[in-house]
Chains A and B, each alone.
Chain A
Amino acid sequence: MSGRFILFILAFLVWLLLTFSLSWENLLVGGLVSLFVSFMTGDLFTKRPHIFKHLQRYFWFLIYIPVFIWECFKANVDVALRVIRPSLPIKPGIVKVTTSLKSETGLTFLANSITLTPGTLTVDVDKENGLLYVHWIDVKSKDVQKATQIIVRRFEKILTKIFE
């Protein structure tokens, strides 16, 4: 099981779902395109293909989805309420938070989750030192530790189990 093979399966699956028909022309073209894509970009896709075999990672990913949707919903109501209030109650600033995640996929997912949840937007990632620069629409604490506690912790636990 190499990274190329997994990428081929994923690409083919997406193709099948997009076209949603099982005629042989579709399968042939989809197969060829997926083969080409997986051959060209397979080594960019993942550096550690063996983690795709760990079933408990998929389980934690399934748990992660409802957690994420709930946080996302809260974020939206929060920002929407700020926007429609006439006094515009915002207190923006860029804070620094730390993370213990090391893998690139894990960091990407953490940054994306932060961007989509309550009033926070990832501006930059410092991979060597494990730092994230986050724009916060309502700064509750300028302290690195406290900000980390509020912003990062709720995702980090689950993401560590999925991607590390």
Chain B
Amino acid sequence: MLEVIGIVFIGIGLVFDLFGCLGLVRLPDVYNRLQAATKCVTFGTCSLLFGVFLILGFSPGGIKALLCIVFLLLTSPVSAHALARSSHKAGVKLWEGSVCDDYQN
């Protein structure tokens, strides 16, 4: 039973990872692409790792998968934040359809 639930989680994770990659290609500028890359890919990968944990249980592999979720949740937003900030500082313009930019100073 747990194995089936785990496979379902892995499937959900794969679908969200796919959407993340799709967003990376389709969205117009750096900031929007970061949105897709951080959100969908983080959640997709976490769901995938959780599925792995459900299948393996409290074994060395399963525990490592759980720890990877924690590390991923802590590091992936920070790297997105660093990328967005540095690209804004480097003068990368927002997409022309953007509504406002309060960070210009």
Contact in complex: B63, A142 (CB < 8 Å) = no
Q: Contact check: which of A14, A93, A96 meets B98 at CB < 8 Å? A: A93
> For chain A, which range describes its interface: under 10, 10 to 19, 20 to 34, or 35 or more residues?
35 or more
| Interface residue count on the B side (C-beta < 8 Å) | 44
Instruction: Indicate if B55 sits at the interface (CB-CB under 8 A).
Output: no
Q: Contact check: which of B28, B63, B78, B102 meets A96 at CB < 8 Å? A: B102
Instruction: Indicate if B73 sits at the interface (CB-CB under 8 A).
Output: yes
Contact in complex: A124, B100 (CB < 8 Å) = no
Instruction: Report if A94-B78 is in contact (Cβ < 8 Å); known contacts: A75-B39, A83-B19.
Output: no
A75: B residues at CB distance < 8 A: 39, 43
- Separation of A73 and B44 alpha carbons in the complex (Å): 10
B27: A residues at CB distance < 8 A: 83, 88, 90
- Separation of A108 and B29 alpha carbons in the complex (Å): 25
Instruction: Indicate if A135 sits at the interface (CB-CB under 8 A).
Output: yes
Q: Which residue of A lies closest to B15 (CB)?
A: A80
Q: Which residue of A lies closest to B19 (CB)?
A: A80
Q: Contact check: which of A20, A76, A96 meets B60 at CB < 8 Å? A: A20
CB distance from A10 to the nearest CB of B (A): 12
Interface string of B53-88 (1 = CB under 8 A from A): 000000110011011000001101110110011001
Q: Contact check: which of A92, A112, A115 meets B32 at CB < 8 Å? A: A92
**Residues of chain B whose beta carbon lies under 8 Å from any beta carbon of chain A:** 16, 19, 22-23, 26-29, 31-32, 34-36, 38-40, 42-44, 59-60, 63-64, 66-67, 73-74, 76-78, 80-81, 84-85, 88, 94-95, 97-103
A-B interface, 3 closest residue pairs, ranked by CB to CB distance from nearest: A115-B77, A93-B99, A83-B23
What are 20 A-B residue pairs whose CB atoms fall within 8 Å in the complex? A17-B67, A18-B63, A20-B59, A73-B43, A76-B16, A76-B19, A79-B19, A79-B40, A88-B27, A91-B97, A92-B94, A96-B102, A108-B78, A121-B81, A122-B84, A123-B31, A135-B84, A137-B35, A139-B100, A142-B102
